[in-house]
Amino acid sequence: MATKSVAVPLAASLRTAERSQWQMALERFRAHRPAVLGVFVLVTLAILCAAAPLVSPYDPDKTRLLELYERPRSRIHSGQTISDAISRRASSTADASRCRSDSSR
């Protein structure tokens, strides 16, 4: 019994597509999931930085960077102890609550 055979050149079937160094590097990069996630985070941050005037709720002209290292303003006056300030605060809140209860009558 005679069969017909088709001759396939062996070199053509084993031949692979030629890839450049960049293509091979991109394939390896895509296979590394943490690296892809890192690039995604960096691209997201870059977009947010470019769109900062739209995203940020603060006006850049109203920030006072020179006052950043100043001491906090205190309601305690010089020569006054902390206990004096606390008792003064307590008495002022008691007076305010008395005024509110008097006005409700």
Percent pLDDT > 90 in the chain is 30
pLDDT tens sequence across 8-42: 665 555 556 788 999 999 999 999 999 999 999 99
Task: Supply the pLDDT for residue 103.
Answer: 53
CB-based contact 35:29 (threshold 8 Å)? yes
Domain ranges of the chain: 21-56
**pLDDT > 60? residue 102:** no
Task: Supply the pLDDT for residue 58.
Answer: 79
